[in-house]
Structure 1
Amino acid sequence: MNYLPHDIVLNILGRVLVKSVIRLRCVCKSWDSLITTPSFISAHLNHNNDNKYNGNDYIIHMASWKARRLVSSYRSKSPPKTSICTVAFDRTFDKISDIEIPFDFTSDCTQMVGSCNGLLCLADSNNVIYLWNPSVRKFKKLPHPCLENLNNVTLGFAYCSENNDYKVVRTSHSTSLSPSEIEMYTLSSDSWRQVEISVTTDVWFNEDFLSPIPLLQRTCIASLRGKLAFIGKLAFIGQSSFQYSIWVMTDYGVVEFWNKLFVVPFERLAYWVRFTNYGSLMVGYRSAPFNRQGMKYALIDIETLQEKKDPDIQHPSFIASFMESLVLLDGRNVESY
């Protein structure tokens, strides 16, 4: 291998699976130094992103310890002591493996905030937030937020491609008497800062950005094969049937390029609608009116509009796209397990 040019070695290693790359760190000191550099981690990630949407993508879903305890109690089984994430194939939802979460929360009310480039953001109701990459077996507990005692808090997790950074946004819902308070955590600085935002931003988004789309109820923003998508309940059909309208922005940032792809008829009122990377529609609904045992899920083929299968997902479940990556391998204040 000493006779191979450095750029060829870099090209080869950038195409190797994450678990194999981790093992290759033991080959020599130069490879270990190369693999742990931010430039190599980014190059490896970019190669994986270039091969997205090929039908071999992954999905990850999690039921909190509290939810698993309720389900176990209903089924007369002993409740589990830890939360578990399940990795499955995006296209079929067939399970690949279960991954035990390697850290504890102070509250039973936990959620998966989001997933970006193989990095998961998990949080509980006590403002305890973790970033976790199960592929490299590393996690990071975020410092305590700077804003205290916020009401109706919503968390968001995203990747900023402009500076190759990851951000967690924490915001309170605004009212006429209490304006929104927003703070943002940045991974590169490992710190929170308060963010000022004008109310007109939300007004512009509602009136201009979505203006070509008719008024829809129970709407949500999603991603369909890398494009911005909009889902909403369009109309009632009879007493127990509904229609959901699916729109996609074909030219990002241009409001005139919102195109309606199709309308999905569904026999039950959906409380949760998302797309998988492959393009299937995942719908969550109550199995019966006022059923407290949880939600049922259906996987719908958007080409045939037929229900493909009933995935084996525990309720309540948080579902996100997932991929293997080296993100967090070179992070500061990161714990291994």
Structure 2
Amino acid sequence: MYAISLQSVIDGSFSSGPVYPPHDQNLRAQRVCFDRSLHEPDDVIWFEGSCNGLVFVSLSFETLILWNPATRKAKILPNSDTGEDFEYYGLGFGFGYDELHDDYKVVEFLSFERVVDAPTLEIQLKVYSLRANSWKTLSNWPGGYTFGGCGKFLNGSIYWSVQHFSGPIEWEIVSHDLATDTFSVLPLPAFGDDGGDADVNVVVKVLRGCLAICCERKTHMDIWLMKDCSMRESWSKVATIPFFLDFRDHEFRKPSPLFLSVDGKIVLNYGTNLSLYDPKNPCTHLFSNKFELETIAYSESLVSPNLEDEIVIGRTLPPELLTEILLRLPVKSLLRFTAVSKGWLSLISSTQFAKTHLKYATKNKLFTHDRLIFGSRTYPMDLITCSLHSAVADSGLSGSIYPEIDEHVQVQAVCWDYPIVEPDDVIWLLGSCHGLVCVSLLANTIMLWNPMTRRSKVLPDSGTEMDFEYIGLTYGFGYDELHDDYKVVEFFSFERVAGSHVLDIQVKVYSLKSNSWKTLSNWPGGYTFGGAGKFLNGAINWSVTHYDGPVEWEIVSQDLAMDTFTVLPLPDLGNDDVLIELKIINGYLAACCERNTHMDVWLMKEYGVRKSWTKVASIQFFLDLMENQYIRPCPLFLSADSRILINYGSNISVYDPGNPQIHHFSDSVDVVGITYSESLTSPNLEDDTSVQLDGLFDTVAF
């Protein structure tokens, strides 16, 4: 058996296609160890359901097992003593969690003919309790037979698609509350002119955290989602999957959706294949009917199927010590641990925990929490992230990070919220602060985004008019500690009269707390030809010059709390022509001074003190890029041995000033890169006590 991250299936493959049999090298599946002592060589394995990281497995319908693939813990359930000596019988299962009693339960649904050719089927319903380690029989089943397969667990209940054995074919969904063992009937969608219930087979699924039904017809399957389990009107059809000609006569071999992405692609088990299916391009998919592939989606967790070896951490460790341990862990681990218990979820999702964790991370001088995110501006979906430490330390002799990625540097694709980004958007990474990245998609379209939690917020329009002959638009992003507020500064320069060579300046500030823009009128003068503002020490720092007259550069520091401006000193640069662009490198304000043939990199070791400026590197311009004034080195990080992580042309590389000739750069594609710190910070103040977990740590086993 194999397991693979569902997120890597959606994001790791840059085109839809087969996952199994293996096809895409970007998809890394792991073999899953299943204890051979639990089953016989000729057993047929069925995945009946999953809940909180536990997978319910049936071996030839005789041996039932609860199994955690992540920890490899397993428990064989006691026999239910269900008789199988009948002429006809159907056996189905459901598996879920009873939150009221903190108990995992298995439901066995048996339908059978006690007498051969009897006009009706008899029903026997049993429930297994993990806490009691025993079965009990229920007698209040409301009627109907589960020809639709296994029950699916959602929100404390198991949902069954059922119909009656005789009379007109009518489907309905029966909800079984695991805490109270009561039943209720849910409405199905209105099928309209699609043939009604008579020509359809209804199978229940759970997709995107919602109840779903797969309506199998003669030539295709419709997938419906129910957003609100109390309202029939909340059903919406989200996809249609055509049956392939080779499969239309196989009534037991129909598509089985496992996961539905936000852009409409479906992780699909069909025949012997597990594929990422794109309904917009169905003809590219080839399937085989040689044998059937068994699959299921589950979430990684530490939940044990054996109550006797369960350790209640909250009772064995003081809460204060537990919190201190968690505060020192990386964000990825913390997001995984939200699945351990409600208490851990509440703690890790709290705003105060996120702020305290951020303070711990910023004290780390080894930059282990810092990451690099990069990708082509012309291909906004193809964003990649990696550890900043790994990018510098593990990149090998070539130093290449992109487009030729060194095999020692561990990178991963970044998941975007697809409805926000249009295919032809040009992406600009404007800045980062506390784990939030400020992104520009189009002029006047700004988004705050946390790549770790996948939370994002599109800012309201600033109302800036762009109808001028010449315009310059740039941004700065930072944190106002005094008011506990994140702010975006928009700097707009324009010619009100074409050809006048007189620029007007308009400075606006967006507040996340008020979700609104305001205009400042106290800008001291100068124009930001030096690019975006850089945040440090509570201020946005701009490199500015004047539009006419002698070129004189200065640094203007904008205090985000007070909206006041001060001028910071530059190093002594001599009389040569120079273009100055500001960066933040290793936590210091940096001035990148571009000359005719090279760039000098200066660091301000003590903020605001002119004497603290130190030149740390000179980067030579390469001949084929020297004439292109828009393609210049962009330093991102300086290692302890003076190697520099730079974005240059279409490349991101670790540059060694002692041996510059081994580096080759290209101007074919403009690539953007930026550094950011891992954090739990939310860009949405209304929900900053929670993080987006749907699909993040789900895994598919097959």
TM range (shorter): 0.7 to 0.9
Equivalent of 1:230 in 584, 591, 600: 591
Equivalent of 1:332 in 666, 686, 689: 686
TM-score (normalised: structure 1): 0.77
The answer to whether the 8 A contact 1:244-1:264 is kept is yes
**Alpha carbons of structure 1 residues 210 and 148: separation in structure 2 relative to 1, 3 Å:** same
The answer to whether the 8 A contact 2:473-2:491 is kept is yes
**Alpha carbons of structure 1 residues 133 and 57: separation in structure 2 relative to 1, 3 Å:** closer
Q: Greater relative contact order: 1 or 2 (C-alpha under 8 angstroms, separation 6 or more)? A: 1
TM-aligned CA deviation for residue 273 of structure 1: 2.2
Q: What's 2:599 paired with?
A: 244
Q: What's 2:381 paired with?
A: 83
Q: What's 1:173 paired with?
A: 493
TM-aligned CA deviation for residue 253 of structure 1: 0.5
Q: Deviations over 1:200-230 (max 9, x none)?
A: 4757637862252335523311122111111
**Equivalent residue of 1:100, what SS?**
coil
**Equivalent residue of 1:180, what SS?**
strand
TM-aligned CA deviation for residue 307 of structure 1: 5.9
Equivalent of 1:218 in 575, 579, 586: 579
Query: Could you say which structure has the higher helix fraction?
Result: 1
**Alpha carbons of structure 1 residues 14 and 5: separation in structure 2 relative to 1, 3 Å:** same
Q: What's 1:125 paired with?
A: 442
TM-aligned CA deviation for residue 198 of structure 1: 2.6
Q: Distance in 1 between matches of 2:646 and 2:347?
A: 40
The answer to whether the 8 A contact 2:568-2:608 is kept is no
* 1:255 counterpart letter in structure 2: R
Q: Distance in 2 between matches of 1:137 and 1:123?
A: 16
Q: What's 1:209 paired with?
A: 569
TM-aligned CA deviation for residue 46 of structure 1: 1.8
Alignment of 1:44-59 (within 5 A): 44-54=357-367, 57-59=370-372
TM-aligned CA deviation for residue 188 of structure 1: 2.3
The answer to whether the 8 A contact 1:105-1:124 is kept is yes
> Which moved further from structure 2: 320-329 or 86-95?
86-95
Q: What's 1:321 paired with?
A: 675
Q: What's 1:71 paired with?
A: none
The answer to whether the 8 A contact 2:578-2:594 is kept is yes
**Alpha carbons of structure 1 residues 32 and 157: separation in structure 2 relative to 1, 3 Å:** same
Gaps of 5+ in 1: 69-81, 237-241, 286-294
TM-aligned CA deviation for residue 119 of structure 1: 1.4
TM-aligned CA deviation for residue 14 of structure 1: 0.6
TM-aligned CA deviation for residue 252 of structure 1: 0.9
**Alpha carbons of structure 1 residues 178 and 309: separation in structure 2 relative to 1, 3 Å:** closer
Q: Establish whether residue 185 from structure 1 lines up as the match of residue 510 from structure 2.
A: yes
**Equivalent residue of 2:447, what SS?**
strand
Alignment of 1:192-203 (within 5 A): 192-200=517-525
> Which moved further from structure 2: 136-145 or 262-271?
262-271
Q: Percent of counterpart pairs with the same letter?
A: 23
* 1:149 counterpart letter in structure 2: M
Q: Deviations over 1:170-210 (max 9, x none)?
A: 12125664421111112222222222233347576378622
TM-aligned CA deviation for residue 326 of structure 1: 0.4
TM-aligned CA deviation for residue 267 of structure 1: 3.5
The answer to whether the 8 A contact 1:299-1:309 is kept is no
Q: What's 1:273 paired with?
A: 633
TM-aligned CA deviation for residue 29 of structure 1: 3.4
Q: What's 1:78 paired with?
A: none
Q: Distance in 2 between matches of 1:216 and 1:55?
A: 38
* 1:169 counterpart letter in structure 2: V
The answer to whether the 8 A contact 1:249-1:257 is kept is yes
Q: Distance in 1 between matches of 2:662 and 2:514?
A: 44
TM-aligned CA deviation for residue 169 of structure 1: 1.4
**Equivalent residue of 1:181, what SS?**
strand
TM-aligned CA deviation for residue 248 of structure 1: 1.5
**Equivalent residue of 2:336, what SS?**
helix
**Alpha carbons of structure 1 residues 34 and 297: separation in structure 2 relative to 1, 3 Å:** closer
Q: Note the aligned Cα RMSD (angstroms).
A: 3.3
Q: Distance in 2 between matches of 1:120 and 1:312?
A: 26
**Equivalent residue of 1:32, what SS?**
helix
TM-aligned CA deviation for residue 274 of structure 1: 2.3
**Alpha carbons of structure 1 residues 154 and 50: separation in structure 2 relative to 1, 3 Å:** same
The answer to whether the 8 A contact 1:86-1:96 is kept is yes
Larger gyration radius, structure 1 or structure 2: 2
Q: What's 1:256 paired with?
A: 611
**Aligned residues, how many?**
306
Q: Distance in 1 between matches of 2:578 and 2:678?
A: 36
**Equivalent residue of 2:343, what SS?**
helix
The answer to whether the 8 A contact 1:57-1:277 is kept is no
Q: Distance in 2 between matches of 1:49 and 1:311?
A: 33
Q: Distance in 1 between matches of 2:680 and 2:667?
A: 27
Q: What's 1:35 paired with?
A: 348
TM-aligned CA deviation for residue 63 of structure 1: 1.9
**Equivalent residue of 2:438, what SS?**
strand
* 2:606 counterpart letter in structure 1: D
**Alpha carbons of structure 1 residues 226 and 21: separation in structure 2 relative to 1, 3 Å:** same
> Which moved further from structure 2: 224-233 or 89-98?
89-98
Q: What's 1:76 paired with?
A: none
Gaps of 5+ in 2: 1-313, 396-400, 402-408, 496-500, 527-543, 546-553, 557-566, 695-702
Q: Distance in 2 between matches of 1:329 and 1:27?
A: 25
* 1:213 counterpart letter in structure 2: L
* 2:555 counterpart letter in structure 1: F
Alignment of 1:274-313 (within 5 A): 274-279=634-639, 280-285=644-649, 295-296=650-651, 298-302=653-657, 304=658, 306=660
TM-aligned CA deviation for residue 282 of structure 1: 1.1
TM-aligned CA deviation for residue 167 of structure 1: 1.6
* 1:83 counterpart letter in structure 2: M
